[in-house]
Amino acid sequence: MSTSQRRLLLIDGHSMAYRAFYALPAENFKTSTGQPTNAIYGFASMLINLIKEEKPTHIAVAFDVSRRTFRTEKFADYKANRASTPDEFRSQLSHINEMINGFGIKHFELEGYEADDIIATFAKAAEKKGFQTLICTGDRDSFQLVNEKTTVLYPKKGVTEMNRMTPEAVFEKYGLTPKQYPDFAALRGDPSDNLPSVPGVGEKTATKWIVDYGSLEKLLEKSDELGGKVGESLRTNIEMVKLNRELTHLLDDVKINSDIDDLAWAGFDAVLMSSFFEKLEIRALKERLKSLPQIGGEQVSEVSVVVKVLSSDELDSILSDRKNPIGVSLEVVEDKLIGYAIATSESEVFNVNSAEIGSWITNPNLPKYVHGGKFALKKLKMKGLAADIEILAYLINPGSRNLSLTDLAERLLGVSTSDENLFVAFEPKTAAWIFTLQKELESEIKAKAMLELYSNLEQPTLLLLSQIEETGIAVDQIKLAKLSEQFLKIVSEETSSAYKEAGHEFNVNSPKQLQAVLFDELKLPKTKKIKTGFTTDGESLEWLAVKTKHPLLKHLLRIREVSKLLATVDGLIAATASDGRIHTSFQQTVAATGRLSSTEPNLQNIPIRTDEGRQIRDCFIAQKPYENLLTADYSQIEMRIMAHLSNDKGLIEAFELGEDLHSTVASQVFGVKSTEVDAEMRRTIKAMSYGLAYGLSSFGLSQTLDIDPAAAAELMSKYFERFGGIRDYLKTVVVAAREKGYTETVLGRRRYLPDLNHENRQRRDIAERAALNAPIQGSAADIIKIAMLNVSKEINENQLKSRLLLQVHDELILEVAQGEKDKLEEIVKTQMANAYQLRVPLDVNIGFGLSWDLAAH
């Protein structure tokens, strides 16, 4: 390679990671365990863009070790004005280092030096070897390195738009050469580094002096020539200016145990990066990454697949007597079957370009492997499901959101799916992938002792959910329409009132216009500073309402509250099918704890705590000829699981007494009679009891209860004096999970938490909270699934017409056929109470009514 073709890319790691962190909202970039990923995502996106656009042949990333460098030894206040590093950012740094390794890029840090010094050293060495060098950094001190061979890419917006700082660009912006820039900076000072400026000397004066005298050295030699106050100010601060100049100078001769040639870049490691993005649940960048050269990932060669095109009848004939499993891949467009492929082995596939499907699909004696089996179960009435590889993969790694067939094939089979044409048309060989993946996943499930969990719980749950979704739940469409009108009217009235209080109309949903009204016009106290001004989120508006009592706030809060209800109602109206019922989709592979969620629409967040929320629940009804709805839920199941897992005698006794748990516990903690427990005592204990299961600290408790941290710590101490078993359990569960690497539910559902042993404290904290939470929430998920399956089984065995409609958290909702109320109540109560034998009884509440709200208990 000629020297003219060699391009070195040097990246200031901390500088660009910080920019990525602040460019992307942390709340939108988090894993299912709560690990922030905004800096990781932004940094990865920047790397992909830079490599794709600049095509470097050599790459290095430099990081600061700490704020203590030779510069702080010379000037103790160097960068002392900078805020402490946010925990959310710090927790991502080790991930960024891991990602850079996956990119196949070397990274460097040197004790006592800054990343800039490493970059300057590499840039100088590269220049001697004839490289073209690009430096990506947000630090303007780097402009001194710019020359005909070296360009600085300085971020203009976030980490994606860059200004190319060439010698011409530096001169155009500052009227100075790159060599003169640090002289100018020494006079101007640098607020970001806490370097003081010469009093009275602005940028124009500093520039003029450097241009007139050529350099800072010559300016200082002839400073006596400068008249006026600015001249006097410079002479007074000469030593400070000299120190500034020394501190802004980048060292280009630090000792680095690496040569430029060691920085040659061949491509990213496909295996490492696939694993990395999987672990951090970053799906969006995987496709973009494929545009770059790669190494690794080729060692697993794809099995040669022979595809034969058949008619539906020909395939039916081949499969008529088959007893061995097949892999099934369906081509579905807008919820309609277009064609399908069947794999009879890892290398033999039969493809049918038709929506006609044979009797093989309903043959219960023909075992079938699928990926995401709901469509086949609901629309094609598939029988003989042997394995759903999406659920198998989920059980192995419940924290993953990358469970698509292509993701699994890439990760587990080494299959390349980077072909842009893949899946534009249906790809029959995906049936072979499914066939092969089943073998891989079942082997891992067995190794992790969860095959029984899959076979006896998760797959039966999938089959039952398919039936429940087909059944749906009826709604009163007239009531829903009236509610929509009612909520729309309230929003309109409240909006008019808000206009009146503001003195003019404005868009109540526009944060920018709201900021102008609240802070500029009404001069209300400022809320939390954000990138676009001051926040106007719900919590901030509530704080303002309490603090100022301004009537506008009441209207704004009411608008937001009712708008959410309106959106919920309108969503339900849109989702109502022609049969007058809503058919939600249950998601079995989303929540890392094993809980179900629902979408299109989400029926698990229908409000219950307000009168208006209950009006929405009142729209869910029993549809004729059914006479009632039955609702049944577990009372305080998570605290009962806590009692079971901790074996705490005090908590077990509290449940066995059959009294109100929180009142009983409050009486014991506060040392009063149960009749003397007031509402505030009960609220305090309830918040603490549930919070402890999620790793609540004394500081967290103080915030939850709005009390002094010391008082919270004392309260927690009293609680643990009475319930020592809970304290011991909370300690041992993390220790045990750290030793094993995973947590377990009562049924053996595992959640692997590798970060429990990570050197980074923030990552350990996140994993520890998950370790506390997973066994309790996961066990609750296991138990309600067992209960749901057993209730359904008993209904079928007793040949009842009543049917299961929904599972909402710890609650089951059923439609009651005429004359079956008593029998159904007996079945539900018995099966739910006996779903799993805990050390304390499972208490079940049951109610009946014409609507979901009226059936509440």
Tell me yes or no: is domain 309-447 CATH 1.10.3720.10: no
Give the residue extent of every domain in the chain. 3-174+254-263, 309-447, 476-579, 638-778
Computed over every residue of the chain, the mean pLDDT equals 89
Q: pLDDT digits over 637-654, tens only?
A: 999 999 999 999 988 988
pLDDT band at 260 (very low <50, low <70, confident <90, very high): very high
- Choose from 147-161, 174-188, 557-571 the range with maximum mean pLDDT: 557-571
pLDDT at 28 over 80: no
CATH architecture of the domain with residue range 638-778: Orthogonal Bundle (1.10)
Domain 3-174+254-263 sits in CATH at 3.40.50.1010
Give rounded-to-5 percent helix, strand, coil for the chain: 50, 15, 35
Between 416 and 14, the higher pLDDT residue: 14
Closest CA to 755 of 33, 101, 271: 33
| AA letter at 701 | L
Tell me yes or no: is domain 476-579 CATH 1.20.1060.10: yes
The number of beta carbons lying within 10 Å of the beta carbon of residue 745 is 23
Phi, then psi, of 597 in degrees rounded to 5:
-130, 170
Q: pLDDT digits over 318-330, tens only?
A: 999 999 999 999 9
pLDDT at 4 over 70: no
pLDDT at 430: 93
Mean pLDDT of 610-638: 95
pLDDT at 425: 54
Output the DSSP codes for 86-138.
PHHHHHHHHHHHHHHHHTT-EEE--TBS-HHHHHHHHHHHHHHTT-EEEEE-S
**Contacts for 348 with CB less than 8 Å, ≥ 6 apart:** 305, 306, 308, 432
pLDDT at 407 over 70: yes
Burial of 655 (0-12, 13-18, 19+ CB in 10 A): buried
pLDDT at 817 over 90: yes
Cα→Cα distances 400→80, 91, 283, Å = 40, 19, 10
pLDDT at 245: 84
By mean pLDDT, which of 27-36, 81-90, 359-368, 571-580 is the weakest? 81-90
Q: How many whole angstroms from its chain centre is CA 240?
A: 48
Q: pLDDT digits over 52-111, tens only?
A: 999 999 999 999 887 777 777 777 766 666 667 788 888 899 899 999 999 999 999 988
pLDDT at 642: 93
Token code pair at residue 658 = 């059959």
Q: Does the bond joining 178 to the residue before it have cis omega, within 30 degrees of 0?
A: no
Mean pLDDT of 36-46: 91
Distance CA 796, CA 48 (A): 56
Distance CA 112, CA 116 (A): 12
By mean pLDDT, which of 252-256, 500-504, 789-793 is the weakest? 252-256
Mean pLDDT of 139-150: 92
Contact present, 426 and 331 (Cβ < 8 Å): yes
Mean pLDDT of 727-745: 90
pLDDT at 423 over 50: no
pLDDT band at 296 (very low <50, low <70, confident <90, very high): low
pLDDT band at 615 (very low <50, low <70, confident <90, very high): very high
pLDDT at 285: 82
Largest CA distance in the chain: 107
pLDDT at 582: 97
By mean pLDDT, which of 225-239, 386-400, 601-615, 765-779 is the weakest? 225-239
pLDDT at 236 over 60: yes
Cα→Cα distances 736→592, 596, 728, 757, Å = 19, 27, 12, 12
Between 134 and 139, the higher pLDDT residue: 134
pLDDT at 143: 93
Q: pLDDT digits over 660-718, tens only?
A: 888 888 888 888 888 898 988 888 888 888 887 777 777 888 887 878 888 888 888 88
pLDDT at 596: 96
- Choose from 236-250, 267-281, 332-346 the range with maximum mean pLDDT: 332-346
Contact present, 143 and 165 (Cβ < 8 Å): yes
pLDDT at 422: 44
pLDDT band at 424 (very low <50, low <70, confident <90, very high): very low
Between 527 and 483, the higher pLDDT residue: 483
Taking the C-alpha atoms of 148, 153, 154 and 159 in order, what is their torsion angle to the nearest 10 degrees?
Answer: 180
pLDDT at 789: 98
pLDDT at 609: 83
**What stretch of H or E contains 791?**
helix 761-797
Q: pLDDT digits over 152-162, tens only?
A: 999 887 676 78
Please give the share of the chain, as a percent, with pLDDT higher than 90: 57
Report field, pTM of the whole predicted structure over 0.75: no
pLDDT at 275: 84
| AA letter at 731 | K
Distance CA 384, CA 363 (A): 6
